[in-house]
Every structure is written in C-alpha cells, then in structure tokens.
Amino acid sequence: MPQLWGGNGPAIVRGTRALFTVLAFASLLAVLGPTPISAQQTLDVHGQVVNGTEGAVVPDGLSVLMLITGADGRLSGTGQTSSDAQGQFVFEDVQVREGDSYTVSADYLGVFYGVVLDAAGLVDDLTLTIFETTADASVIEVKRHVMVIAAVDEGAQSLSAIEFVQIDNPSDRTLVPDLTNVEQISFLRFSLPPSPTELNVNSDLPAGDIVSIGTGFAFASPVAPGPHSIDFSYTFPFDDETLPFRQSLVQGTDIFQVWIPEVISGVEVNGLSSIDSINVRGTAYRAYEHNDIPRGQGVELEFIGLPMPGVWAQFVDSVTGGKFWQVTIPCALGATLAAMLMYGLIWGYRPAFADGSSGEAEPVNPRERAAVVQAVAALDHRYQKGELSDVYYRAQRMELVSQVLGQGAYGDSTRSDQE
C-alpha cells in the first residue's frame, strides 16, 4: 500500500480498484500462480501527477525523482524523469528487489510531495498528488490539543511537559509559511508557560524553522491538505505552591486537555473541567478538559498543590548550586568586617600586642576612618564582581583595615603609611 505526503509528512493513501479488475487479477493468479519478484528483475514504473487543487493544472515537464532504499536503510539507487502535458511519467528498467522501498516525489512550488511503495506496489500505476499553495494560516484547524505533565522536580522547582497537537488542513491548498510578510499570519503559532527552557519540537511535517515569538514559538513548516500531528516538550519553573498562567491557543482547538499522572499526587488544575481519568499503556492520568475554544482565545490555567522543598532542602540546594559560596560567604565576610570597622570607629579600638603593651598609636582621625570604611566597602564590591585578584584584594583590605583599626592590627608584617 503506498504512502502519500506533502513535504515529508506521511498519510496513508487508500486506493480503490474496480471489482472486475480484482476478480480478473485473482483469476489470472489462479491460472499462472504467483510470480515472485527476483533480485535481478527490472520493471517500467508508470505514474501520473495530478493537481489536487480545484481548477488547477499540472505543469508540463515537472521533474519527478525516485529514490530506492535497501532493507538495510541505505540508498541503493536513484532515478529522474519528467511528466508530460497530461502529467504522465515513466521510470524505465527500475531494478526491483524484495525488501526495498521506492520513494517517488516531485518538488512543486517549493513543497515536496511523494509516495512510498514496496516492490509489490510498483506493478500498479501510481498517482502523485500536488497542490497549489496559500499563505492564509486560518485554513488550519486544531482538532485536539493535550498538555501532559511528564514530571515534577521538587528540588529544582520545575515542571516537565509534553504537548500533543492534532491539526487538519481541510482545504485543497498547502499552507506555505512566509515569515517576511508581517501583514498576514502564514505560520502555526504555539504559546508556552512562563520562562520555558529545553524546547524540543517534532512533527510529521517537513523540517521548518522554529522561531521564538511573543510568549511561545512559530513553526514555519508547509502544511499539506490532510491531518498532521505535532508535539513539543519543555520545562518551566514554579516558585510557589500555586502557578497561574494563560494558555493562549492562537489557532483555537476543538478539545483542550491537561493530563497529570496519578503518581504525581496532590497536583491539580483549576480553569478546566475534571473528566474521567485516562489510562495510556498502563499509566493512569487525572484529566481536565475544555472544548470549542475559538481562534485567538485561550484558557486561564492554575496549577495548585505544587510541591515545595523544605527549608533544609532549599539550603542544601543553594549550597550545592555554587551561588552560596560566590555570594553568601563574601556578603557574610563584608558584614562581619563592617561590624568590626564600626566597632573600631565608635570605640577607638586598640589591639593588644604579644609583649603585653597596649600598642599605643596615634589615633586615627574620624573623617579619615570613615573614608577608609567606604574604601573597604568599594574594594569588597569590586572583588565580588571579579575585578580583583585574591592576592591584590587581601593585601589591599589588610592595608585599609590597619588604617581603621590602628597600626599592627595584622601583626608586624602589615605595613603602615609611615613605613
């Protein structure tokens, strides 16, 4: 049975044959017996290009390609021919082998259309359907849109989601996106929750650009007439037990659902109606639904009951995350140093020396001391920003602290202004 696609998105073609043809062919097999296709057999493959857009014609001389893929998945042969004024074409002396697949395609107006057949399917005349194009994205209908919460990471406070979208192009034209035309929307658009990361998009459509736009992305792939499927996965954060956001549905949808696995206990969804649970391959999901959402509209969603890490878990996460050591420790040192400096500023601190003397030194002028305190604060700030090396920073801070606390605050090795 052949497969048909616009671009490279597969859709099954169900060809019909007249009853007398089937009976005649069955009678012939009964008389002659089945004729196996040998490894060395060659065959002329006949086909016809038709235009599926009402009132359109097939251009004369349209280039038609054939790719032969072996059972091992490797390309084993190619061919090229052209259609005539009636759209008919023929590939002569095609090498036929059991297990090979044969792809016949044509590029029309920038979109690939083709059929995929096995060796047995080559004996029948094949039909290759092409379409005219449109830049009007309103021809696309969304039949079903499902958001599945795949996982909740309590430690990282993030949700992992997969969205499955079933679309249909009921028209007789292929939607071809044009990102340069700002006056007409010609591409599919999908919104995402706040601050998404790790976006991954898959579909049965031809490869196209994924463009960040607004609160989501645009999917710039041609969409031939017929049904197609798109799925995309991502993660997004939450910082509270409740996460509200608007799920915009630009193309609208007949059915919108959110599924949450039963194993993720406590998490619920507000804004949708709860429906019967859904079981997929042994996994049960709590399900929520809203129907008949018009184009350009959306739904207000609210995830509730999201798990929050305890105080100790948050502390451990902040420590292991590295920011604790880069920010908290320097700030603590700065706060301690500031307290020491203020103590010296107010009480005129004099350090004791090892020999028991009071280390009498000339008192520091309060104005000078205040200026030094500001200099220390500025030095700490530059160090935290990574502008100073450790050696230079420590040396300069010792110098400044000595000026505030008095000479000899760090021992005899600390230089004073008089040295």
For residues 259 and 349, state if they share a domain: no
pLDDT tens figures, 229-250: 999 999 999 999 999 999 999 8
Is residue 210 located within the same domain as residue 289? yes
- The answer to the question of residue 75 being in a domain is yes
- Do 220 and 259 fall into the same domain? yes
Q: Look at the chain and report how many structural domains it folds into.
A: 3
In terms of phi and psi (left: phi > 0; alpha: psi -120 to 50; beta: otherwise), the region of 329 is alpha
Q: Which residues pair with 115 in a beta bridge?
A: 4, 104
**Residue 411 falls within a domain, yes or no?**
no
pLDDT reported for residue 342 = 53
Question: Are residue 10 and residue 122 in the same domain, yes or no?
Answer: yes
What pLDDT is attached to residue 257? 96
Do 181 and 211 have their domain in common? yes
Residue 239 located in a structural domain: yes
* pLDDT for the residue numbered 34: 39
Same domain flag for 110 and 153: no
Predicted structure pTM score = 0.63
Q: For the domain that residue 92 is a member of, what is the CATH number?
A: 2.60.40.1120
Assess whether 353 and 373 both reside in one domain: yes
Which residues of the chain register pLDDT less than 70? 1-40, 182, 310-381, 383-385, 390-391, 393-394, 397-419
Residue 286 phi, psi (nearest 5): -75, 135
Q: Domain for residue 316, yes or no?
A: no
Report whether 187 contacts 242 (CB < 8 A). Answer: no
Q: Are residues 303 and 360 in the same domain?
A: no
Residue 419 domain-assigned (yes or no): no
E-assigned strands of 193-296? 197-203, 209-213, 216-220, 226-237, 243-249, 253-261, 268-270, 273-280, 283-293
Which structural domain, as residue segments, surrounds residue 260? Answer: 137-311
Same domain, 301 and 173: yes
What CA–CA distance (Å, rounded) separates 394 from 400? 10
Q: What is the DSSP letter of 106?
A: E
DSSP per position, 111-143: EEEEEEEEGGGGGSPEEEEE-EEE--GGG-EEE
- Assess if residue 307 is contained within a domain: yes
90 and 155 assigned to the same domain: no
DSSP of 337-391: HHHHHHHHHHH---PPPTTS-----PPPPHHHHHHHHHHHHHHHHHHHTT-S-HH
Last residue of a domain, one of 284, 311, 338: 311
317 within some domain = no
> Both 48 and 144 in a single domain?
no
Q: 44 and 99: one domain?
A: yes
Tokens 């004996």 belong to 123
pLDDT in tens, 18-63: 333 333 333 433 434 434 434 458 899 999 999 999 999 999 999 9
